[in-house]
């Protein structure tokens, strides 16, 4: 039951392309499918706090997560000299959660205390480099003990004639199933009784559907300044809460959280990169988010990439985030029995957060440890803290091979 308050840590996989050419005048490009790039990302994440939604907005949020992500990029050119990019990815997370085990405090269940999530995906893209256009499609799947998701995506992009601007549109659909694991106090005899923990296949499942459209426009103003504008439109319907999140009312009565069956989200963002000479790159981002649950948020992010040598760089970063609470949030024992919807999940509360850290990147021309195929290694550390006391540390490593 992976419900982690993770922060986007800025460890983005870089897209580098290489292909073979013969020396004749036909500019024939190699048609054989070959490996272009392999990336491995591993991370360790640990958090703690005292506002667990599993126990009604109070109690430990201690959680530890280990993750590994493997990406293989393949490339070829077809008979029409169209570029084919194939990306095959798989990620695995293993975590332990003290708060999740409070779903049933009378027993220790592996489905609550610890879990494994696996999420493979596959993307196929075709590009016409002469026209500056491309089309792509992909599928994804994610599975853990209480949640399963199947995704589909399709997109297209078009560059301007001078290649200084590019427009991209992407459509994504996610079809999810949530296993209805209730807090032990709310279970009936049919689902295991007060102290029972029934066979996992007996739990009913509810559907959650997500449709998302993403639109970006990027522009290169000059050799130093690049900008990107982003608009997302997301619509969700189905069971949008989590069945094991408790809510305690002001009279002491207990229920599991209840949220609307629809949600409409609109995030907008602008990003920029400024190259100050050969050694400094300034990256910045501002994002505004709003949805029809009453939640609004602002994010400001800045990162400075400093090249100590042509092959070694240091990148300190800082992110500030602030959000206003959703209409349906209230702390422990603050909800009224007359409330139509209710949750004590502090992810939907009002708070501010700070996330800061740094990364170091090594990319020697002869490869890592003299192995030419090992092109780059990057290590990043970040510290995250909310105004409600939640704090976390994350360490990640990325290795690139070509």
pLDDT at 145: 86
Give CA–CA dist 260/173, Å, rounded.
Answer: 20
* pLDDT in 10s for each residue of the chain, 402 residues: 444 443 333 333 333 333 233 333 334 465 788 999 999 999 999 999 999 999 999 999 999 999 999 999 999 999 888 999 999 999 999 998 877 777 776 654 434 578 899 999 999 999 999 999 999 999 999 999 889 999 999 999 999 999 999 999 999 999 999 998 888 888 875 554 444 444 544 678 999 999 999 999 999 999 999 999 999 999 999 999 999 999 999 999 999 999 999 999 999 999 999 999 889 999 999 999 999 999 999 999 999 999 999 899 999 999 999 999 999 999 999 999 999 999 999 999 999 999 999 999 999 988 888 888 889 999 999 999 999 999 999 999 999 998
- All domains of the chain, ordered by start, with CATH? 34-401 (2.40.160.40)
Q: What pLDDT is recorded for position 186?
A: 85
Please give the C-alpha separations between residue 212 and each of 7, 161, 233, 264, in angstroms, as whole numbers. 21, 29, 6, 10
Closest CA to 10 of 32, 43, 34: 43
319 CA to centre of own chain: 16
Angstrom distance (rounded) from CA 143 to CA 89 = 15
3-state secondary structure of 252: coil
Could you tell me if 213 and 170 are in contact, meaning their C-beta atoms sit under 8 angstroms apart?
yes
- What is the predicted pLDDT for the residue at 106? 61
* pLDDT of res. 17: 34
| Under 8 Å between Cβ of 285 and 298 | no
pLDDT at 8: 35
Contact 274, 225 (CB under 8 A): yes
Other Cβ atoms less than 10 A from the Cβ of 55: the count is: 21
Closest listed residue to residue 3, CA positions, set 119, 105, 115:
115
Structure confidence at residue 30 (pLDDT): 58
Report how far residue 220's alpha carbon sits from residue 164's, in angstroms, rounded to the nearest whole number: 5
Question: For the stretch 357-388, what's the b/e string if a residue is b when 16 or more beta carbons lie within 10 angstroms of its beta carbon?
Answer: bebebebbeeebeeeeebbbbbebebebebeb
Prediction pTM value: 0.88
pLDDT, position 365? 86
pLDDT score of 107 = 56
């Amino acid at each position: 039951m992976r419900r982690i308050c993770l922060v986007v840590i800025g460890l983005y996989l870089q897209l580098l392309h290489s292909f073979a050419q013969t020396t004749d005048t036909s500019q024939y490009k190699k048609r054989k499918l070959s490996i272009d790039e392999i990336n491995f990302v591993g991370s360790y994440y640990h958090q703690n706090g005292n506002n667990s939604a599993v126990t009604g907005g109070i109690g430990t949020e201690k959680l530890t997560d280990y993750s590994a992500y493997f990406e293989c990029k393949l490339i070829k050119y077809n008979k029409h000299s169209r570029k084919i990019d194939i990306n095959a990815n798989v990620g695995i997370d293993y975590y332990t959660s003290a708060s999740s085990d409070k779903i049933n405090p009378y027993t220790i269940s592996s489905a609550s205390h610890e879990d494994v999530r696996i999420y493979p995906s596959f993307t196929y893209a075709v590009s016409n480099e002469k026209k500056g256009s491309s089309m792509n499609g992909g599928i994804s799947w994610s599975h853990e003990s209480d949640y399963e998701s199947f995704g589909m995506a399709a997109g297209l992009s078009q560059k301007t004639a001078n290649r200084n601007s590019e427009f991209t549109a992407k459509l994504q659909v996610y079809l999810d199933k949530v296993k209805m694991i209730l807090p032990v106090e709310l279970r009936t005899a049919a689902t295991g009784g007060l102290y029972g923990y029934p066979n996992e296949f007996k739990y009913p499942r509810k559907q959650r559907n997500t449709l998302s459209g993403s639109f970006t426009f990027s522009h290169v103003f000059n050799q130093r300044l690049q900008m990107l504008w982003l608009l997302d439109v997301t619509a969700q319907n189905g069971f949008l809460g989590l069945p094991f999140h408790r809510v305690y009312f002001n009279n002491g009565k207990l229920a599991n959280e209840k949220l609307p069956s629809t949600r409409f989200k609109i995030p907008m963002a602008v990003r920029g990169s400024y190259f100050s000479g050969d050694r400094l790159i300034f990256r910045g981002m501002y994002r505004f988010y709003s949805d029809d649950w009453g939640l609004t948020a602002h994010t400001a992010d800045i990162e400075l990439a400093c090249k100590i040598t042509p092959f070694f760089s240091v990148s300190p970063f800082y992110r500030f985030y602030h959000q206003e609470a959703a209409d349906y949030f209230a702390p422990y024992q603050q909800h009224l029995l007359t409330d139509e919807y209710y949750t004590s999940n502090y992810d939907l509360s009002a708070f501010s957060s700070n996330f800061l850290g740094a990364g170091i990147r090594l990319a020697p021309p002869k490869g890592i440890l003299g192995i030419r195929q090992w092109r780059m290694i990057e290590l990043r550390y970040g510290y995250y803290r909310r105004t409600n006391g939640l704090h976390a540390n994350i360490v990640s490593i990325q290795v690139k091979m070509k």
